[in-house]
A and B are shown apart, each in its own frame.
Chain A
Amino acid sequence: MEGLSVADANLLMYLHPSKSRNVSQSILRELGSLPFKFNETFDGVLLAYDVNILDKQAKILSGVHPYFGLRLKANLLLFSPKPDMLLEGKVVKLSQESIHVIVLGFSSAIITAENIHGEFKYRTKDKEELFASKSHKRHVIKVGTMI
């Protein structure tokens, strides 16, 4: 599946002074708020990370709140799908109008009728909705299929 990548990142994290009591916990918590959201910096969605603190020393920023900056080295698993990439997902819902797919367990995608290949025709068989290929009889898309 395209779109998945592993990246090495040098991060600089700024923490509020109140977090200085338990720095590693604060780092993990901050990083914990990142996954499953699109991140501009990473140009993708963070899925998983592994982090190391580079330096025990941290620079304190001058200003109203003396935040301190920590250097971290992290290994990141990113998902950055771009147009025309091939992705894989599981079908969770089918209707005449659309196919609903879940990619990587967290991302929902929808394929509307216009985008479904003409080869597939919507059918209801034994109360089950599916898209069947006109050319290959066995080729069927229904709930639970990986596409």
Chain B
Amino acid sequence: MGLELPKYPEMEEDQVFNFTDSEIVSHVKQALASVLSGDNNSYNQLVGVMHHSKHLAPDEVALLETTLKALAGAVSSIDITYHDSLLSAIFCMSMWNYGPHVADALAELIVSLAISNGKYLDLCLGMLVSNFTPPPYFLDKLKMPHGLERKGQVLSRVHAAFKKIADYVPLAPLRLLTIVLQGMPTIYHKDRAIVIYVENMLKLESGEIGELVGSTILMAVVDRLIELDVEIGWDAILQDDFSKGIFEMELEDVDDIEESAEPDVGEFRLSRKSLAGNSIAELLDNLLVLTFEHLESCEREGRLAKVFETLLQSFQFVMFYACALDPENCGMRFATMLADLFVQDSQPQPTRMSAVSYLASYLSRAKFLAASSISSMLKRLVDWCLEYCEAHDGDINPNAHRVFYSGCQAIMYVLCFRMKVFVDVPRLKSELLIPLEQVLKHKLNPLKVCLPSVVEEFLRQAKAASLFTVCKTFIFDGLLESELSRAFGGLERLDTFFPFDPCLLKKCDSFIRPMFVFWSMVKPTHDDAFDDDDDDDGSSDDYLVQDFVNENEDIMNDEFGKSFDEQGVDMDDFDYALKKMSITPKATSNYKFGGRFQEPARMPSRIRPSTSPESL
């Protein structure tokens, strides 16, 4: 049965009547009212107009537009029970199917409906939120100019509608927030839908009602990013293959990825190649790009500092980028927050250890941080470690002093990357290195417990820079980790946690790259230094270390600081460092660092959605 084109009774095909708006409105009201008395004819015609959406001829379009406008004027006559078929027809309409005029009329109708009665508010907001994403058939057209135009047209009307509703119903943003969060596509939906949904969420954050809903929305976006991150090949990463050094070459030169040999059977190396086909990785990539672009626009509008407070709880490369955009304020705030977490006795151990790992990785990798900032942070860490040593007179014990060992490792790690900073400034050398030496030589023996690869590299650089003498020999045989380091690292392997290792995602990496310190950029040429020392009649201490170094030089050269250029790069051997990309260990639920530590508790000074759980 075909759909009969409904006609208003007075309209004849050959005659053109000009009806005033109010006449049309009263006609519609009559149609609505007649339902109550049992006469459904005109009402059904109305519903029919709403349903007719595809391939509309111009006069059908005009009819639809007129009907919508009339309904907007007659909202007070709409009854939620009697007219439910009309209402469901309206709420199913998608602005993506229509041109600008109909979209306008539809938006107007939705706004009128929302403000006319509290009963319709949620439904109207829900309808608008469902217009964040186009109907399935349209998803492919999004990239084309016509699609983009339609997208701009729809989204601007949707967001304008939110603003209007919020003007007349002050508590609407609260409801909107709930609806937006509930409607968020999971990561298993078609990825283009979530990308455009997140785009809308970010638009809400920067829009006029952004102040009211912004921080919760940002957190929700970040949560989704974290979810995706955890999903990426985690099962594959759980291989215990730590044969590559931390300081091995990192992928810097994107263009030079060779088509190389297949990875060894039974091993899955996380590499840019292997991520390429991974749709989840692609999705994360796209979302991160969106987020970065959003941060850039926040910065341009001068809002970054405010947004940053929310972000402090969030995903690490997003943080990195935000800090890079404003090193003095945001950059330092991030570092300070991490340091604060580390020194607080009241925080749980894994939290403190993760915090200092984040801090170490951040201080090493952030190109945009001033030397003074880095040194002040380091000083804080060193001072804390020294205090700890003085308060604890025990022997080496990886389990009992986990936080201490992670602090020491952090210091050494940063110094591996930033040695130049300290060597050049004599004052720093004395302020920092004398206490550090005391720490390292203490009975607690951090040099033996911390990750061997870090210790080795640190000692090598320290020796080359003549920082201090080391009286014990540390023979690690090129071990990346040891029993002791595993012990202090614990189940979560916090001894090998370097969150800001190079970003593997192609698109967002282009944002991060310019502000990132790659190992090869700071890799010292300490081989030369060793040659010089050969001639010295050093003390027996130096000699021992040097012997050790000489013996293991080959191993070390293989493992450490091999620059990308030096050897025929086997890009397939994406090392260990990259496996550590954005670690959010699976046991994240226990101490979700990327999650929320402190939700600000504030008394609502204006209408603000609550961040507390409604009930526990």
From known contacts A32-B601, A98-B116, infer whether A92 and B76 are also in contact, taking CB-CB under 8 Å: no
CB–CB B75/A100 < 8 A = no
- Nearest neighbor of B115 in chain A, beta-carbon distance: A100
Proximity bits, A12-36, B CB within 8 Å = 1, else 0: 0000101001000110111111011
| Complex interface: chain A residues within 8 A of B115 (CB) | 93, 100, 108, 110
- Provide the bound-state CA to CA distance between A112 and B604, in Å: 32
Which secondary structure dominates chain B's binding surface? loop
Select one of A33, A67, A102, A106 contacting B612, CB under 8 A: A33
Flag if A30 contacts B612 (CB, 8 Å): yes
Contact A93–B171 (Cβ < 8 Å): no
Q: State the CA gap A30–B614 with chains docked (Å).
A: 8
Q: Taking CB as reference atom, which chain A residue is nearest B121?
A: A108
Question: Which of B116, B167, B601, B607 is in CB contact (< 8 Å) with A25?
Answer: B601
A35 and B167 contact, CB distance less than 8 A: no
| Interface status of A63 (Cβ within 8 A of chain B) | no
Cα separation A26 to B613 with both chains bound (whole Å): 11
Residues on B with beta carbons closer than 8 Å to the beta carbon of A25:
601
Q: Once the chains bind, are B117 and A110 in contact (CB under 8 Å)? A: yes
B607 and A92 within 8 A (CB):
no
B55 CB within 8 Å of chain A = no
**Residue on B nearest A16 in the bound complex, by CB:** B616
Partner of A102 from the list B22, B76, B168, B174 (CB cut-off 8 Å) is B168
Residue of B73, B117, B169 with most partner-chain A CB within 10 A: B169
In angstroms, how far is the closest chain B Cβ from the Cβ of A35? Answer: 6
Task: Give every chain B residue within 8 A of A106 (Cβ-Cβ).
Answer: 170-171, 607
Q: Which residue of A18, A21, A32 contacts B610 across the interface (Cβ within 8 Å)?
A: A32
Residues of A within 8 A of B74 (CB): 97
Asked if A83 is at the interface (CB within 8 A of a chain B CB), the reply is no
Q: Is A97 in contact with B73, judged by CB distance below 8 angstroms?
A: yes
**Which A1-51 residues have C-beta < 8 A from chain B?**
16, 18, 21, 25-26, 28-33, 35-36
Say whether A102 contacts B604, CB under 8 Å: no
Residue A118 at the chain B interface, CB threshold 8 Å: no
A113 on the B face (CB < 8 A): yes
Indicate with 1 or 0, residue by residue over A98-110, a CB within 8 angstroms of chain B CB atoms: 1010100111101
Known: A102-B170, A106-B171. Is A113-B76 also a contact (CB below 8 A)? yes
Q: Is B425 an interface residue (CB 8 A)?
A: no
User: A36–B171 contact, CB under 8 A?
Assistant: yes
Interface of A is mostly: mixed
Chain A residues positioned under 8 Å from B169 (CB to CB):
108
CB–CB A108/B168 < 8 A: yes
Q: Is B603 an interface residue (CB 8 A)?
A: yes
Q: Mark B588-616, 1 if CB is under 8 A from A, else 0.
A: 00000000000101111001001110101
How far is A110 from B169 in the complex, measured between Cα atoms in Å? 10
Contact of B604 (CB < 8 Å), options: A32, A98, A108: A32
Partner of A29, one of B76, B174, B612: B612
Most central of A16, A25, A110 by chain B CB within 10 Å: A110
Whether A29 pairs with B599 at a CB distance below 8 angstroms is yes
Count of chain B residues with a beta carbon within 8 Å of a chain A beta carbon: 26
Chain B 442-476: CB-based contact to A (< 8 A → 1; otherwise 0): 00000000000000000000000000000000000
**In the docked arrangement, what's the CA distance between A53 and B394, Å?**
44
On whether the beta carbons of B611 and A29 are closer than 8 Å, the reply is yes
Task: Determine whether the beta carbon of B601 is less than 8 Å from that of A29.
Answer: yes
Whether B612 lies near A32 (C-beta < 8 A) is: yes
Taken residue by residue from 40 to 74, chain A's Cβ proximity to chain B (1 for < 8 Å, 0 otherwise) reads as: 00000000000000000000000001010000000
Q: Collect the chain B residues with CB atoms within 8 Å of residue A31's CB.
A: 603
Whole-angstrom CA separation of A105 from B167 in the bound complex: 11
Q: Across the two chains, which residue of chain B brings its CB closest to A27?
A: B601
Give bound CA distance, A83 to B525, whole Å: 84
Cα(A110)–Cα(B594), bound, Å: 45
Q: Which of B405-439 contact A (CB under 8 A)?
A: none
* A25 to B75 Cα, complex, angstroms: 45
By beta carbon, the residue of chain A nearest B117 is: A110
* B168 close to A93 (CB less than 8 A): yes
Min distance, Cβ A31 to any Cβ of chain B, angstroms: 8
Q: How far is A36 from B169 in the complex, measured between Cα atoms in Å?
A: 12
**Alpha-carbon separation in the docked complex, A125 to B614 (Å):** 49
Shortest CB-to-CB span from A29 to chain B, Å, is 4
Q: Which residues of B contact A67 (CB under 8 A)?
A: 616
Shortest Cβ distance from A104 into B: residue: B170
Cross-chain contact A28 with B601 (CB below 8 angstroms): yes
Identify the closest chain A residue to B116 (Cβ). A110
One of A92, A97, A112 near B167 (C-beta < 8 A): A92
Contacts of B170 in A (CB 8 A): 102, 105-108
Q: Does the CB pair A28–B603 fall under 8 Å?
A: yes
Which residues on B sit within 8 Å (CB–CB) of A32? 601-604, 610, 612
Identify which of B22, B168, B601, B604 contacts A35 (C-beta below 8 A).
B604
- In the complex, 7 of the A-B residue pairs with CB atoms within 8 angstroms, ordered by the A residue number, are A29-B610, A36-B174, A92-B167, A95-B73, A96-B22, A98-B76, A112-B76
11 more A-B contacts (CB under 8 A) besides A28-B603, A36-B171, A106-B170? A29-B612, A33-B610, A35-B604, A67-B616, A98-B116, A102-B168, A102-B170, A106-B171, A108-B171, A110-B117, A113-B76
The 10 A-B residue pairs with the shortest CB-CB distance in the complex, in nearest-first order: A33-B610, A16-B616, A29-B612, A108-B169, A29-B601, A25-B601, A28-B601, A106-B170, A112-B76, A33-B612
